[in-house]
Each structure stands twice: as C-alpha cells, then as structure tokens.
Amino acid sequence: MALKWLHYAKYANITTLKKGLQMKNKKFLDFNVQYDTFLEDLEDLIQKNKDKIHSLLAIQNKTFDNFVKPLSLIDEELNQFITPLTHLNSVKNSSQTQEIYTKMIPVISTYSTQISQNKNIYNVFKAISKHKNLSDEQQRVIELNILDFKLSGAHLNEKTKMKLQQINIKLDELSNQFSQNLLNATNEYNYIITDEKDVNNLPKSDKNQISFKQNGITKYKLTLQAPIYTAYMTYGTNRAIREALYKAYTTRAPQNAELIDEILRLRFEMANLLGFKNYVEYSMASKMAPSSKKVLNFLQKLTDASANQAKKEIRELQSIADIKLQSHDIAFYSEILKQQKHKINQEDYRPYFEQTKVVDGLFQFLQQLFGLTCKSIKLELWDKKVKVYDVYIKDELKARLYLDLESRKNKRDGAWMHNWQTHGILEDKTTQLASALIVCNFPSSDEENPSLLRHDDVVTLFHEMGHAIHHILSDVQQIGVSGVNGVQWDAVEYPSQFLENFAYEPEVLRLFARHYQTDEILPEALIKQLIHAKNFQSALSMLRQLEFSMFDLQIHSKLYQGQQIQIILDRIREQTALIKPPAYNKFQNGFSHIFAGGYAAGYYSYKWAEVLSADTFFQVIDEGIFNSKTAKKYLDIILKKGGSYNMYELFEQLMKREPMIDSLLRLNGIN
C-alpha cells in the first residue's frame, strides 16, 4: 500500500491527536497542526498502524472486507494526518514547517517502503484477487495494489529491498530540497526601481501592488513571484530591467543542478533494480499510454503539426519589433502584437474579473452544469483570506472545499489542487465525505485594491476546480479508487482541462464577468475579442509544452549527468525553440514538476489528457452547454467513478468511440 502523497505532489480537517485521528459524529476533520508534538504523534500513529497490520495478517480466512478494506483505511488515516503539514509547508512556509517536514520525510518514506515491499501482504492481495464475487471497485483496488507492490519490489530479495528503501528516502529528501531551494531563491530576490517612467506602462493594479515609500520617496519593488514577474515581463518598457528579471528567474537555485544529477542517478538505479531498462519504462508501467514509443510518436506528431504555424507566428512577432528579439522580449512584444491584431488589452478585462465575482460565477456555472451548490462557511485557518465552502448536490452534503487564491510571501509559486479526505464507506458502514484545497497565486487584495484577475487566472481557477470536483464528487465506496485515487497519471488532467475550456464560452462568461464597480456585464465586443485571441501564438505555446515533455522523457531514458542534460535540452530546442534562449538559462533547475512533483517521465500527461478533454468539450459545445446530455453523463461516468475504472474505458463508455487527436489540434487552432 504505497502512500500516495509521496508520489502525487501535484495533489497532495485534520486533528493531530496523541493516539491518532478521531471523527465520530463529524462530517469533516478540523485543520489543526500541533507542531510541538507532531513527530511524536506521527511515530505513535505509525506504530499503531504496524500493530494493526500485524493483526490483519493473523486473520485465518482473509477477505476483501476483513483485510483489504481496513488496510486501505490505515493508508487514508495516515495521509489525513500528514496532509495539513505538507500543505502548510507549501502555503505558509516557515523555518518550523521546513524543519518538521524535513524530519518527517525519512520516517514516512521508510514506513511506506516497508509496507509496499511486504511480501506477506503482497501474497494476500494475490490470493484475494482470485476470490469470486468481487465488485468492479474491489477488483480495481486489488489490481492497482498488486501493481504497486511489484513496482516497489515486494517480490525481490531483502538486500535489494533495503537498497530500494534507501533510494526512496533519499529521493524524497532531494525532492523536498529542490522545492525549498526554488522557494528560497524566489523569496530572496528583489529589484528596486526608482525611476517612475520604468513602471508607467504597468497596469494600475500591478503598479499599486509593487509601490512603497522610503524616506518619503515612492519606489517600486519587483520580485520573482508570478503575478509581479509576469506583469513586468509583459508590460515593462525598460528592456534592461526585463532582461535582469528574466536572468534572475531562469538562473534561480543553481545548487539544484547537483540535485538533478543525484535524482536522475537514483531513479535510474531504482528502475534497474526493479527490472526495468530505464525510469521511463518504470513510469509507463502505471500509465494509461501503452508504451513510451507511442508517447514519443504522439509528441512528434504534434511537433510536426505545429512547426509551420509556429514559425509563422515568430516571423509575425519579429516583424513588429525594432530589435532582434531575445527571450526576455517575447512576452512584451507578444502583448503589443496581441493588441494590434485582436484589439485586445488584458487590462480592459481585469475590472470584469474581480476574484470574488469570478468564484461566485464559477459556482453558478457548476450548479447549472452539474447541480452542484457551494455554501460559504466561516473557519479560522492559516490565512484570513482563505475561503471555505460546503458542497451539495441537490440537498445532499457532498464535500468541503478550501480556496487559497492570493499570492503572498512564503507561499510556493503556481497553482494546484490538494486532495484531503476521500469519499468512501468506512468499516462501521458510515460514509466519509471528501474535502480538497485549491491553491493559486492571484494578485493580492487589500482594503483599497480588490484582486483583479487576468483571463489567464480565470482559466487557471477553472482548471484547478476541475481537479477538485473530480475528487470531491466521487460516489465510489472504496477509498483506494475514489476521487483522484487510482486515476492513471496521464489521465488525471482530463477533468481539469475539460473544465478550463469553458472559461472562454460566452454563456459562461456572462455568469460572472461583471465590472467590480458598476456591475456591468462584460461587453459583447470584448467577449468576441477574447475568443478571437484565444489561440494567439497557440503553436508556439504547443511547442513549448512539447519541449518540456520530450526533455522529461529523454533525460529519464538513460543515465545522463552534468552537461549532458543541457545538451539534450539544447538538441530538443532545435525543434521547439524558435528564439534560442541565452546560455545562462537553466530552466531545468526550476522544473519542479518533474524534480519535486509527480510528473517524472510523465509530463507528457498534459497533452495526452488534453486529447480526451478536447474531444469531450466539443461534444458538449455541439449539444449546447446547458442542454448537453454528454455533460450529464460526464458527471456520472467520469467524475462520480473516480479511479474505479481505467480512464480509457470510462472515456469510451462516455463517447462511444476512441479519442481523436484532431480535437486537440482544433482546440488549439492548429491546422
């Protein structure tokens, strides 16, 4: 029973009690971390789990109900215990969370590896797999666990198991260190501007956010946090400052280069010990895609389909610039070109995308599409701006949702969904409800300035909500395959990408795109401009994502070290980077998706899943969004069934055919 938090960092009501978790007569657990006793409580809980497993193994006639189910609940309980700390280490990082988290990693990793390598448990699963009258959910739980045991080396000798255990502990420590180095580098950098002409072109809301007074003089502080960095790279007129920011951003955490070497070496060694040629083969064993060869062919096909259009896009961009474009110029001139071609200015939209109105409108959309209702509740949590909602379908309480949407210091960059409790039936036959957290880094609000979003931020929120409802709307009884649990990694982006596509639809935009001061609905002309500009430079964007995917697969296909990694990236960029990045660009040192997350040898999953999402989306659009039969079936077949079936089977059940790559090209406006 591998602990999922160690492998699914993209997703990762807890009461920390001396003797474990208790939730009798409670729908949801409380968010509360007792820092002083956390490690002691963790050791107590692990020992309790070991005693429980020992007693389960002593059962004479083992069945799914008396062995597999209680074992899966042990896993759930431990995940619930550690989730608040892992979450706080990302959203309210401090020396205290770092210290406890760092000490926790080897404890959890050792325990997880020992359980997943336990040959006695493995043999019980194999025996129970032969039992008759198992439900589809039960069979799926057993099937996935047997695969987990094999991928953990349960069938190997003790010496090899011990080596794998040491590798797992070290990899978890290295991933944490990689992430922390990146966060520290982001927090430490700032660039002070004293000449106002260098910020005059910035949107008012961004300019207000970076201004401060020192000795009576107004100055401006740029940082590498996403909203500020993106704003200056897009609107900042001082080219030298843009280059300085770009260089700082792409050279963050240089010490991560050594960590990458060690991570790749350990992954390669682990794959070999488990009988795989390389880490790619190991990764593909649990994916939906049939083979790495199929994936590489898929990526190459997309590259070939995008290349000519991307070259045209870059020529068009160069034609409006009075300089030879460099990497730090692309966002700035792209914004100018976008305004020229589509008469679109992102700042015209931001007053219509006030954060609270967008969230309320998103909930209204989900209510009309799926019958889902979100009711606000008040809880004291890690930050006063965190909002909490209880989620209902009709009048039935279904789940709890936490939204932490604004950027702040000591919060990890990016956006993600972190699953918490999982829907399922407990041993006492009561139902555990689901909970999830959505984290973003939108512009911060204060008493004078609301959080006004770019449309890209709106798309991001829809994306993460797609992940969240995939987890919390599950009707699956077995926790091990409920919600996002058990979903193949290259299918997990399907629900998020499906939902994000609706952020461009006029019917949906009219639900929430209202001016924060006048309540005026976003004018029709601006909606049309937004849609026309949707696929602006889409081929360049496609090549960028394909670059990440191919780099990820290639560096995991053999044991590469040191300069070899840069050589591989440069070789791939000959196909994908139409403006060559400067030699100092060390993108890989910040590629946390594969070095500190769950996407190692799996970053291709974004494009693989996008085929499914595009296919489904166009079916709903063609039927009419709010009258779509496919949308209702999507709720029942995709969302409610979680990971209880192979996603490929669920897709075919929904669409009555295989997925078509042409839908992905159509979605991106690529011929």
Q: pLDDT digit string (tens) for 183-196?
A: 999 999 999 999 99
Q: What is the mean pLDDT of the chain?
A: 93
Under DSSP, the state recorded for 603 is T
Which of 19-23, 36-40, 69-73, 294-298 is the least confident region?
19-23
Do residues 15 and 29 lie in contact, with contact meaning Cβ atoms separated by under 8 Å?
yes
The CB density around residue 444, as the number of other CB atoms within 10 Å, is 17
Residue written as tokens 């699953």? 419
- Domains delineated in the chain: 4-155 (1.10.1370.40), 189-250 (no CATH), 351-537+606-667 (1.10.1370.40)
In a 10 Å sphere around its CB, with 0-12 CB exposed, 13-18 middle and 19+ buried, how is residue 627 labelled? exposed
Tell me the sheet residues that pair with 221: 192
pLDDT at 26: 55
Task: Give the list of residues 6+ apart from residue 228 with CB closer than 8 angstroms, or none.
Answer: 206, 209, 210, 222
Question: Of 95, 100, 71, 77, whose CA–CA distance to 14 is shortest?
Answer: 77
Strand-pair partners of 406: 442
CA-CA distances (angstroms) from residue 459 to 157, 499, 548, 624, 669? 49, 9, 21, 20, 17
CA separation, residue 507 to residues 502, 511, 625, 668, 669 (Å): 9, 7, 8, 20, 21
Residue 504 has pLDDT above 70, yes or no: yes
Tell me the pTM. 0.89
β-bridge pairing 387-393 and 372-377: antiparallel
Distance of CA 335 to the CA centre of its chain: 27
For residues 641 and 638, what is the distance between their CA atoms, to the nearest angstrom? 6
CA–CA separation, 447 and 220 (whole Å): 20
Asked if 263 and 256 touch (Cβ cutoff 8 Å), the reply is no
The two tokens of residue 442 are 């939108």
* Alpha helix stretches (DSSP H) within 66-195: 69-91, 95-116, 119-128, 136-152, 158-188
Q: What is the enclosing helix (H) or strand (E) of 424?
A: strand 424-425
pLDDT in tens, 285-310: 999 999 999 999 999 999 999 999 99
CA end-to-end span of the chain, whole Å?
45
Of 498, 497, 469, 465, nearest to 483 by C-alpha is 469
Strand partners, 474: none
The amino acid that residue 342 corresponds to is H
Q: Distance from CA of residue 88 to its chain's centroid?
A: 16
Q: How would residue 568 be classed by pLDDT, with cut points 50, 70 and 90?
A: very high
Catalytic residue among 137, 354, 406, 464: 464
Percentage of residues of the chain with pLDDT beyond 70: 96
Q: Please say if 652 is a catalytic residue.
A: no
Reference 140, options 423, 488, 435; nearest CA is: 488
Q: Is residue 452 pLDDT above 90, yes or no?
A: yes
Q: Are strands 434-442 and 396-406 parallel, antiparallel or unpaired?
A: parallel
Whether 590 shows a pLDDT value over 60: the answer reads yes
